[in-house]
Structure 1
Amino acid sequence: MLEKQINEMRENVDIGIESENRKEVVGILNTLLADEYVLYTKTRNYHWNVVGKDFKERHEFFQEQYEKLDEMIDEIAERTRQLGGLSVATLNEFIQIANLKENPGEYPSDIKMISNLLKDHESTIKFLRKSAKDCDEEYNDSGTNDFLIGLMEIHEKMAWMLRTHLD
């Protein structure tokens, strides 16, 4: 059922990308959307639950990060709609298709929080890099290729910021 919803497309979108290719790209975007939502939720969780001597700095840092992720989530859902697809939009759907996983019941130290987020950003960067290439070379969608590269660059900066907290 979820697969059918993800692949449901409006056939009257005539932007020079074949319907089957748009379906594949929509699948990529929905997986990315789910991953971003898991990462957003983790970051928000850490914002709420961070403790320690660097509380204020970490609390504000996590807020900056989840606010950026929130913007990206909206842009990904809108790109999906631009291609004629439907955006997954429930927690259940996100968990079903996300590559990233939650860690329920875990309340790690602030350094472990940062390390966990860094790992997720790096995983997302790898997914974006492969997906951008696929969009360009396999699906003839240079627009989504460019869009994904822009998101990858944002994640690379966010990962760098996280990494600086670990040095």
Structure 2
Amino acid sequence: MKIDIGIQENDRAQIAQGLSHLLADTYTLYLKTHNFHWNVKGPMFQTLHLMFETHYTELAVAVDDIAERIRTLGFPAPGTYKQFVELSSIKEEEGVPEATAMVRLLVEAHEACARTARKAFPVCDKASDEPTADLLTQRLQVHEKTAWMLRSLLEE
């Protein structure tokens, strides 16, 4: 059936493309956070292990919300590692960094997600796509706050 939600197909396609980049960044961040949760060690183990679990649990919900919004707009959501690697601005880590490096890498990845979410706003505004704008606002709040909290761990 033809989609008639008050947003033109071309605008929906552009919004879905922006969300696909955000989905790829979010999924890559989810995987990185889960990896660090499993592999963190050192004096901050307990704190970081539990914090990373909280973060990846929130990200697991987020990837579903983002993918479902893409589907709502009438486009397929990317769902393979190959697609995520092509779409994501976040790179995977080789090896296992030490705990402080993990925190720094996660700050950078949350900031990357915030930048990706921000890039998707102009077309949403132009198309009056308030549900996507709301989703992007929620994601920005989470990524900016999480980056701040992680950065705080790096301060003397």
* Corresponding residue SS for 1:62: helix
Gaps of 5+ in 1: 1-10
Q: Is the 8 A contact 2:19 2:70 kept in 1?
A: yes
Instruction: Select the residue among 113, 138, 147 that pairs with 2:135.
Output: 147
Give the whole-Å Cα distance in 2 for the aligned partners of 1:95 and 1:130.
19
Alpha-carbon distance in structure 2 between the residues aligned to 1:27 and 1:104:
28
- One-letter code of the match for 1:41? L
CA deviation vs aligned residue, 1:9-55 (integer Å, no higher than 9, x gap): xx611100000110111111111111111101110110011010121
1:132 touches 1:148 (CA, 8 Å); kept in 2? yes
Aligned to 1:109: 98
Tell me the matched-pair count.
155
- Aligned match for 1:157, one of 145, 148, 151: 145
1:73 aligns with 2:63: yes
Residues 49-128 of structure 1 mapped to structure 2, 5 A cutoff? 49-105=39-95, 107-128=96-117
Contact 1:133 1:145 in 2 (8 A): no
**8 Å contact kept, 2:18–2:119:** no
For residues 19-34 of structure 1, the aligned pairs below 5 Å read 19-34=9-24
Q: Which has the higher contact order (CA 8 A, sep 6+)?
A: 2
Q: In structure 1, give the amino acid aligned to 2:115.
A: K
Structure 1: distance between partners of 2:122 and 2:8 = 17
Q: CA deviation at 1:126?
A: 1.7
Q: Distance in 2 between matches of 1:155 and 1:134?
A: 21
Residue 120 of structure 2: aligned partner: 131
TM-score (norm 2): 0.94
Q: Which runs of 4+ in 1 moved over 4 A?
A: none
CA RMSD, 1 decimal: 1.3
Runs of 5+ unmatched residues, structure 2: none
- Give the AA of the match of 2:142: I
Identity across the alignment (%): 39
Aligned to 1:5: none
- What TM-score do the two structures reach when normalised by structure 1? 0.88
Q: Give the deviation of 1:130 after TM superposition.
A: 2.5
SS in 2 for 1:164: helix
